[in-house]
Amino acid sequence: MAILIDVSTRVLVQGITGREGGFHTQQMQAYGTQVVAGVVPGRGGGETLGVPIFDTVAEAVARTGADTAFTIVPPAFAADAVMEAAAAGLPLGICVTEGIPVLDMVRATAFIAGTPMRLIGPNCPGVMTPGQAKIGFIPNHVGRPGRVGVVARSGTLTYEVIQGLSESGYGETTAVGIGGDPVLGSTFVDILPLFADDPATEAVVLVGEIGGSDEERAAEWIRSSGFDRPVIAFISGRTAPPGKRMGHAGAIISGSTGSAQGKIDALTAAGAAVADTIEEVVRLVGERLAP
Condensed to tens digits (0 to 9), the pLDDT of residues 77-129 reads 999 999 999 999 999 999 999 999 999 999 999 999 999 999 999 999 999 99
Supply the DSSP symbol for 82.
H
Same domain, 146 and 278: yes
Give the CATH number for residue 68: 3.40.50.720
Same domain, 254 and 169: yes
Number of domains comprising the chain: 2
Same domain, 203 and 243: yes
Same domain, 276 and 172: yes
Same domain, 29 and 153: no
pLDDT for the residue 138: 97
Query: Do the domain assignments include residue 3?
Result: no
24 is catalytic: no
Strands 92-95 and 47-48 come out as unpaired
The CB density around residue 139, as the number of other CB atoms within 10 Å, is 14
**Active site residue: 24, 153, 248, 263, which one?**
248
Summarize pLDDT for 9-65 with one digit per residue, the tens: 999 999 999 999 999 999 999 999 999 999 999 999 999 999 999 999 999 999 999
The residue segments making up the domain with residue 228 are 141-289
User: Mean of the per-residue pLDDT values for the chain?
Assistant: 93
The answer to whether the pTM exceeds 0.95 is no
Same domain, 147 and 276: yes
Same domain, 116 and 145: no
Instruction: For residues 267 and 64, give the distance between their C-alpha atoms in angstroms, rounded to a whole number.
Output: 43
* b/e 72-88 (16+ beta carbons within 10 angstroms → b): bbeeebbbbbbbbbbbb
Same domain, 209 and 105: no
